[in-house]
Amino acid sequence: MHGLYGIAAELARLTGWTHFDARQYNQARTYFTEALQLAKEIDDRQFMANVLACMSLQATYQDKPADSLALVTAAQDQARSALGTTPRVLSMLSMREAFAHATLGNRDSTHRAIGEAHRHFEQAGGSDPDPSW
């Protein structure tokens, strides 16, 4: 059953991205939310972090930077609580955080988040078990 939920979550996420790319943001949010719920069912925290990061980016594009920051913070919390989260994933989330801070005009926080992304990325190894996404 875990496999079926995982496949369904990935399909919902990809469908969300398709709608996001077409600027159909309400429909994208529906699918991202579905992906998040499916990932919660199987307690896949790294995947939940990925979906929350997608939602954060969407909030930035919809001119909702405070929502974007809240969503990326939730994504980071999920990633940190997951076993096996790699430095590359943490780096990606720090860059998403930097984007949210930049949109809010928080210069110091933007630079701090970029620095954190660099630190995580420097720790990444070629054999890290990064998720497929």
Domain architecture of the chain: domains with CATH: 2-123 (1.25.40.10)
Q: What integer pLDDT is reported at residue 24 of this predicted model? A: 96
- Sign of the Cα torsion 38, 41, 46, 52 reads positive
Q: What integer pLDDT is reported at residue 94 of this predicted model? A: 98
Averages of pLDDT over runs of 10 residues in the chain (133 residues) are 88 97 96 97 95 96 96 96 92 97 97 97 89 80
Helix 87-104 to helix 107-123 angle (10° resolution) is 170
Distance CA 44, CA 50 (A): 10
Instruction: Centre a 10 Å sphere on the Cβ of residue 19 and count the other Cβ atoms it contains.
Output: 18
Distance CA 52, CA 90 (A): 13
Q: What integer pLDDT is reported at residue 131 of this predicted model? A: 85
Helix 45-61 to helix 87-104 angle (10° resolution) is 20
Q: What integer pLDDT is reported at residue 1 of this predicted model? A: 53
Q: Is 84 left (phi over 0), alpha (psi -120 to 50) or beta?
A: left
pLDDT tens column, 71-92: 999 999 999 998 889 999 999 9
